[in-house]
Amino acid sequence: MKLKKGTIKTSIVLVFLLVVIGIVVYNFIGPGAKDMKASKDFIAKLYSIKAINTDQPLDSMKYDRIKILTSKNELGHKTIVTQNFGIDLDKENNVIGFAKKEIPKNITKLNIEQAKELADYYLKNIYDGDVIIKTSKSNEDNESLPYYSFVYTKEDHGYPFYFDEIKLNIDKESGVLDGYSNSTMQRECKEPVINISKEEAEKIALESFEKYNKDGTLEDEISLVYADNTIDTDSKTISEVCYLVNIKGKDKNNKKVEWKIFVSSETGNILNTLKDGAEKEVTTS
């Protein structure tokens, strides 16, 4: 009798362990994993707004995880693929990239204005946040590219985030979404405080430039943007409104140089400097 009771207890424990293992596998590795669910939800959203070809039944699509990044410096974390698409997700399982595997023929049926309307519509449905258009490219100079490119910038309180970009590629023939990348970071941002005038920001930026260079002249119109403090490495990463000041001049060897200097509109401190057009890069694939 004791042996029988022991066998029953062992069987119950084994069944319990198998159920737990099954749940863990489903939720963290299998189709129920958060990255898989986020990818499925994103594709379903694209289907619902007809941003991609919907010939293949949605429920027949298979999803596979092919890459997981562990580097803390890269925005991209996971890559999920289907038969026709690839989806990149960050560490919080937000979709930061999408691309079609198929390379379409380079046939133009839509003009750039029509494509822009579609890009605006798609973005409104797949991104929850305020944006402004930054650049539009017809790619006419590159005949091999079968899509128009539109780059948007996240904004808050009416000020754009200089380093955050959302890019959409719209197929020139069909108008479907050919590619999508989102380098916007989930970061805290301060309320705008304007204590420094534009003229004061110009003076601060020029003085900083002249410490290392000469013949500095202001280029372009000064604008207010959100940027991070990269000078004080001990400070918490919080974006704040800055004056973006573009300066051209010469270094000590008479070589032409160009700096973008970000001056805090609140304190007048320099928070970031980009030299010779260097931009902050974020890997999304």
Which of 11-20, 34-43, 136-145 is the least confident region?
11-20
In angstroms, rounded to a whole number, what is the distance separating the alpha carbons of residues 37 and 56?
Answer: 19
3-state SS record for 230-250 = CCCCCCCCEEEEEEEEEEEEE
Nearest to 174 by CA among 25, 38, 54, 17: 54
Residues 98, 106: contact at Cβ < 8 Å? no
| The predicted structure's pLDDT at residue 1 | 52
Q: What is the mean pLDDT of residues 153-159?
A: 92
Residue 184 burial (C-beta neighbours within 10 Å; 0-12, 13-18, 19+): buried
Tens-digit pLDDT profile for residues 125-143: 999 889 999 888 886 665 6
Task: Provide the CA 250 distance to its chain's centre, in angstroms.
Answer: 34
- Classify each residue of 113-125 as buried b or exposed e, where b means 16 or more C-beta atoms within 10 Å of its C-beta: eebbebbeebbee
**Two structure tokens written together for 32:** 């129920």
N-terminal to C-terminal alpha carbon distance within the chain: 62
In angstroms, rounded to a whole number, what is the distance separating the alpha carbons of residues 264 and 271?
Answer: 7
For the domain made up of 198-275, the CATH class stated in words is alpha beta
**Two structure tokens written together for 22:** 């099954």
Greater pLDDT, 123 or 91: 123
**Two structure tokens written together for 44:** 């379903």
Greater pLDDT, 233 or 209: 209
Q: What does residue 229 show for φ and ψ, rounded to 5 degrees?
A: -85, 105
Tens-digit pLDDT profile for residues 61-111: 999 998 776 555 455 678 999 999 999 999 889 999 999 988 777 888 999
Task: Provide the CA 80 distance to its chain's centre, in angstroms.
Answer: 17
Q: What is the mean pLDDT of residues 5-29?
A: 51
- Correct CATH for 34-188 of 1.20.1260.10, 3.10.620.30, 3.40.190.10, 3.30.310.160: 3.30.310.160
**Two structure tokens written together for 245:** 């000041």
In the block, residue with structure tokens 């694209």: 46
In angstroms, rounded to a whole number, what is the distance separating the alpha carbons of residues 82 and 84?
Answer: 5
| The predicted structure's pLDDT at residue 220 | 84
Tens-digit pLDDT profile for residues 201-218: 999 999 999 999 999 999
Phi-psi region of 254 (alpha: psi -120 to 50; beta: other; left: phi over 0): left
| The predicted structure's pLDDT at residue 9 | 56
Beta bridge partners of 238: 188
In angstroms, rounded to a whole number, what is the distance separating the alpha carbons of residues 202 and 243?
Answer: 9
Greater pLDDT, 106 or 181: 181
Q: What does residue 275 show for φ and ψ, rounded to 5 degrees?
A: -105, 135
Nearest to 265 by CA among 191, 164, 156: 191
Which of 2-16, 106-120, 193-207 is the least confident region?
2-16
What is the rounded average pLDDT for all residues in the chain? 84
